[in-house]
Amino acid sequence: MVTGLGARFDSIVESAGPLCVGIDPSSDALKAAGLPDNTEGALEFARAVVAAATPRVGIVKPQVAYFERFGSRGFGVLEIVIREAREGGLAVIADAKRGDIGSTMHGYADAWLGTGPLQSDALTVSPYLGFDALEPVFSLAETTGSTVFVLSATSNPDAGHVQRASIAGATLPALVARFARERSGGTNTVGVVVGATRGLADSGLTAADLDGLLVLAPGFGAQGASLADISTIFGGATKRVIPSVSRSVVREGLANMPRAIDHYLQELGL
Amino acid sequence: MVTGLGARFDSIVESAGPLCVGIDPSSDALKAAGLPDNTEGALEFARAVVAAATPRVGIVKPQVAYFERFGSRGFGVLEIVIREAREGGLAVIADAKRGDIGSTMHGYADAWLGTGPLQSDALTVSPYLGFDALEPVFSLAETTGSTVFVLSATSNPDAGHVQRASIAGATLPALVARFARERSGGTNTVGVVVGATRGLADSGLTAADLDGLLVLAPGFGAQGASLADISTIFGGATKRVIPSVSRSVVREGLANMPRAIDHYLQELGL
């Protein structure tokens, strides 16, 4: 069944644009929304985000950590949120940043891109164990039309302690992008995560490194980058960038989310 | 409450030695054990491993991916396994390889080292987003006497595609170890994961890099390294190495696990 984000990306952009809204029921976000810091609060919060996002945008991104902190009951809530968002026509990027080797990576692939209760349209993964180690998720993404976003350059200023590292003059962010292009071969199977806050050059990347790749770009809104600057930041790669906003969408209250999302759509020129 | 692996490491080694037994209910492992590939099978498998490990060893390491593949119900099983293992006196290393930034990393810290249903004695994390990004788990590990094992050099042969990268002549595995030593300051708060299969030199490490650190070392048994060679592999760092065996312990059947574990204890000279 080919239904993932990769297979649907062009039609999503045509109907709703590329904006992605994060679903981040952190302890702080629940408190600010006047909700209890428990699974009931997380479910109410997540449902409000999904309701505000539908049909304004085409993509949502639950941050798995904020559900995982409640253990199995938190995962139960996440399953409901993923299912309801997909039933409402949204593509779901599970922001899990998983990464392991061999049969263990198969386990993560099954969890997020298989037919189980967490089945999503895309997954974020971390490349520290190498690219070949991630092959089980790439294979399953290929079969299901999903997209695997590999962390390339992240939005936190201190990421350079690791991401400045290089092999034969190529930085890790550039190596990740190169690998993603090779593995994708022009499809949407493998994309990259590139934070919008630091700028490509400061991350050791050029727009050419991202050529043809789907790029998930957190860092807009609360983290500091403006959507109006997206083409300044990403240059020739802009057309395939999925900008993601999270905290800033909810910070004026759940009731104001539709207005906040509309504001970002205007900033994007949509 | 200070009860984690870091706080108890010396007494664990004194009473049971450093061997760690993995709890890996993969699809293949369940089939080989004649168990159904579902949550019931995973629970029966995990309980058999815990029973065989108690009191032969002091540490077990559930591989989170093999529970996560079943979604919330898999996490429900993992909660039972962690709780029962800890109630039986075992220290639990949650092998989750999580890694994110800021408040998201707080979520993972709360999930695995907080007082919730997944509370464990140690956690593995991935450093691609930088070291400072991991601070929320380090802080909580400090408070609870737990240990955070940061991936340094992993056991898969293709890890070099990323882990050969260097900054100013220092490879990523060496940078991770250096950071872990600085952050730990002689305590057991931050350790490292170093695979036993490739040898320190091939991973860009020396025994001195690991000086004073707790080292979680997968790669023994099925992955190829022999426990009899542990001091050849780790040199002066050997005394604080936690060797981990997983697949090889179960491959002759669940009923033969106690014998398999005894075999490894003999190989270790215990």
* Nearest neighbour of A133 by CB, restricted to B103, B118, B156: B156
CATH superfamily of B5-267: Aldolase class I (3.20.20.70)
**What average pLDDT does the segment B6-17 reach?**
95
* ipTM for the whole complex: 0.97
* Residue A97 appears among annotated catalytic residues: yes
* Catalytic choice (B31, B61, B97, B239): B97
The predicted structure's pLDDT at residue A8: 96
The predicted structure's pLDDT at residue A2: 58
Q: Where are the domains of chain B?
A: 5-267
Tell me how many degrees the CA angle B181-B186-B189 measures, rounded to the nearest 5. Answer: 75
Strand-by-strand arrangement of the B166-167 sheet: A170-171, A166-167, B166-167, B170-171
Do the Cβ atoms of B118 and A71 come within 8 Å? yes
Distance CA A198, CA A39 (A): 34
Do the Cβ atoms of B165 and A172 come within 8 Å? yes
Q: Which of residues 148-207 of A touch B (CB under 8 A)?
A: 151, 154-156, 158-167, 172, 175, 179
pLDDT digits (tens, 9 = 90+) for B54-76: 999 999 999 999 999 999 999 99
Q: Which residue of A has its CA nearest to B113?
A: A69
* Lowest-pLDDT choice from A2-6, B86-90, B238-242, B257-261: A2-6
**Chain B interface mutation, best of A82, A97, A152, A175, highest count of B Cβ atoms under 10 Å:** A97
Bridge-based pairing of strands A59-62 and B215-217 is unpaired
Provide the mean pLDDT of chain B: 95
Cα A24 to the center of its chain, rounded Å: 12
| Chain B closest-CA separation from residue A110 CA (Å) | 6
Do the Cβ atoms of A65 and B108 come within 8 Å? yes
The predicted structure's pLDDT at residue B2: 58
Structure tokens given for A186: 């022009």
**Chain A interface mutation, best of B73, B162, B197, highest count of A Cβ atoms under 10 Å:** B162
**What average pLDDT does the segment B81-107 reach?**
97
Q: Work out the number of other CB atoms within 10 angstroms of the CB of residue A55.
A: 10
The predicted structure's pLDDT at residue A206: 93
Which one-letter amino acid corresponds to residue A202? D
With beta carbons under 8 A apart, name residues in chain A contacting B151: 128-129
Any long-range contacts for A249-253 (C-beta under 8 Å, 24+ apart)? A249/A21, A249/A22, A249/A49, A249/A52, A249/A221, A250/A24, A250/A29, A250/A32, A250/A33, A250/A45, A250/A49, A251/A32, A251/A222, A253/A33
Structure tokens given for A232: 């300044």
Structure tokens given for B49: 């491993």
Q: Does A253 touch chain B (CB under 8 A)?
A: no
Distance CA B81, CA A184 (A): 39
Does residue B270 surpass a pLDDT of 90?
no
Task: Write the DSSP symbol of residue A156.
Answer: S
Distance CA B55, CA A36 (A): 41
Q: Does A129 touch chain B (CB under 8 A)?
A: yes
Q: Work out the number of other CB atoms within 10 angstroms of the CB of residue A182.
A: 10
Percent of chain B with pLDDT strictly greater than 70 = 99
Distance CA A33, CA A82 (A): 21
Distance CA A41, CA B170 (A): 46
A230 with A268: CB under 8 angstroms? yes
Task: For residue B197, name the pLDDT band (cuts at 50, 70, 90).
Answer: confident
Distance CA B129, CA B184 (A): 19
Do the Cβ atoms of A167 and B166 come within 8 Å? yes
Q: Does A31 touch chain B (CB under 8 A)?
A: no
With beta carbons under 8 A apart, name residues in chain B contacting A69: 107-108, 110-111, 114, 116
The predicted structure's pLDDT at residue B28: 95
* pTM greater than 0.95 (yes/no): yes
Q: Work out the number of other CB atoms within 10 angstroms of the CB of residue B257.
A: 21
With beta carbons under 8 A apart, name residues in chain A contacting B99: 97, 99, 126, 128
Give the residue ranges of chain A where pLDDT is below 50. Answer: none
**What average pLDDT does the segment B122-140 reach?**
98
Q: Work out the number of other CB atoms within 10 angstroms of the CB of residue B55.
A: 10
Q: Which residue of A has its CA nearest to B23?
A: A104
Does residue B1 surpass a pLDDT of 60?
no
Q: Does A38 touch chain B (CB under 8 A)?
A: no
Does residue B164 surpass a pLDDT of 70?
yes
